Amino acid sequence: MFKKILFLIFIFQFGFSQERQLIKGKVIYRNIDVPSANVVNNTSQNTTITNENGEFEILARVNDEIIFSSVQYIIRTVRVRSEEHTSELQS
């Protein structure tokens, strides 16, 4: 059975720019960091993985679709929004 995963994403200084900017975030499950999770910008096909602390950086712009996946966790998709915020997703 798939486990639920909580993604904590910090998105900084997104305006209405058409250029991709670096976003930083962290993937956690039940307050535990998720290392080696795949982070894919499905729009631009840029990819990265989370570090040992569950942190990641990836280039994105408004309306890009970011996909998070890791073994034994449900795949989650997030669309980048324009406002500065902290976003938490929980299934």
Identify the three-state secondary structure at position 16.
Answer: coil
The rounded Cα 28 to chain-centroid distance in angstroms is 11
Q: pTM value?
A: 0.73
What is the model's pLDDT at position 1?
Answer: 42
pLDDT digits (tens, 9 = 90+) for 30-81: 899 999 999 999 999 999 999 999 999 999 999 999 999 999 898 999 999 8
Band of residue 20 on the pLDDT scale cut at 50, 70, 90: confident
CB 59 within 8 A of CB 42: no
Identify the three-state secondary structure at position 52.
Answer: coil
